[in-house]
Amino acid sequence: MGPPPPPKSNTGKVLGIIGGVVALAVVGTIVAVVATNGGGGGADAGPKYKTVVPKALLGGEYTLAKDLSDSVGAKVPNDGAYARNMKVAGGQYSSGAKALVLMTMYGDISDPRQTVNSTISGMKKGDGAEVAVPNSKYNPGGSKDSVDCGVMVKRQMGQKITVPFCIWADSSTTGNVLETDGEHIDTDPYSVDLNALAQKTLKIRGEVRVPLDGEAKAAGGRQAAARPGA
C-alpha cells in the first residue's frame, strides 16, 4: 500500500470565511462613519496616498488569490462624516496553508482614530463573530507608526476560527490585515503573537501605499509632453 494521502488543507475554506468577515467589517466601518456627525482633521489631514493590490506581499511570502476591490467597493459609500472620496482596494492572499486578507480604503480621512474604532465595531456586527482579545496599540521595533491589533473569533457551521487582525488609519488610508493558519484554525486566541502581526502589518502598509504627489507629477509630465512645443 502506498503512503496515506496528505490531509486536506483548510486554506480555501478559511479564505472564504475571512473574506466575508472582512467585507462586512469594511462596510460596517463606512456605515458607522456615515452615521457619525461632526469630526475634523488634524494638521496633516488630507489625502497624501492611495493603496494598491500587489500580486505578492511581504517579499513574495504571500501571493494574491483573489482581488476583492470591486466586490467590496460596490457595497461601500464614497462619503461620510469622517471620510470623503473613499475607494476600496483589497484582496485574499495565500502562503501554503496560511491565509491573509488585506482590505484597505483610501481618500480623505479626517478622524483616523474614529475609523479604527468603527472598524472594530464593524467586526463585532458579523454573525457568529466576536472580538476575543480586545485591540491594543502596537509600535513594533519602536516604530513611530502604530497599529491596533487584536484577535477575533468567527464561528460558522460549528467551526471556530481564530482570526488575528491589525488595523491602521491615517489621513489618507486605512487598512485591515487578517492572518490565520488553515491547519490550526481554532488556536487559542491568547496564544497569538500580535507583535509579530503588527510588524507584518507595517511592512504591508509600506508595500501598498503609493504617494499621490508622485502620481500627480507623472500625470503632469505626460500632459506637458503632449502639448505642442513641450
Lookup: cell for 187: 488556536
Assigned domain for 1 exists: no
Assigned domain for 86 exists: yes
Confidence at 28, pLDDT banded by 50, 70, 90: low
Pick the residue with more confidence: 161 or 1?
Answer: 161
Q: Which of 56-65, 139-148, 217-226 has the highest mean pLDDT?
A: 56-65
Predicted local confidence at residue 44, as pLDDT: 47
| CB-count burial class (<10 Å; 0-12, 13-18, 19+) for 81 | middle
Assigned domain for 3 exists: no
**29 has pLDDT over 50:** yes
Assigned domain for 38 exists: yes
Mean pLDDT of 39-54: 69
Structural domain count, the chain:
1
Predicted local confidence at residue 208, as pLDDT: 97
Q: Are 115 and 104 in contact (CB under 8 A)?
A: no
Domain of 98?
Answer: 11-226
The mean of the pLDDT values for the chain is 80
**229 has pLDDT over 50:** no
**123 has pLDDT over 90:** no
Measure the CA–CA gap between 46 and 149, rounded to whole angstroms.
25
Predicted local confidence at residue 9, as pLDDT: 62
**109 has pLDDT over 60:** yes
Assigned domain for 132 exists: yes
Mean pLDDT of 57-69: 95
Predicted local confidence at residue 187, as pLDDT: 92
| CB-count burial class (<10 Å; 0-12, 13-18, 19+) for 29 | buried
Nearest CA among 47, 42, 54 for reference residue 105: 47
**20 has pLDDT over 60:** yes
Confidence at 143, pLDDT banded by 50, 70, 90: confident
Predicted local confidence at residue 40, as pLDDT: 45
Confidence at 36, pLDDT banded by 50, 70, 90: low
Confidence at 178, pLDDT banded by 50, 70, 90: very high
Assigned domain for 6 exists: no
Predicted local confidence at residue 219, as pLDDT: 38
Assigned domain for 65 exists: yes
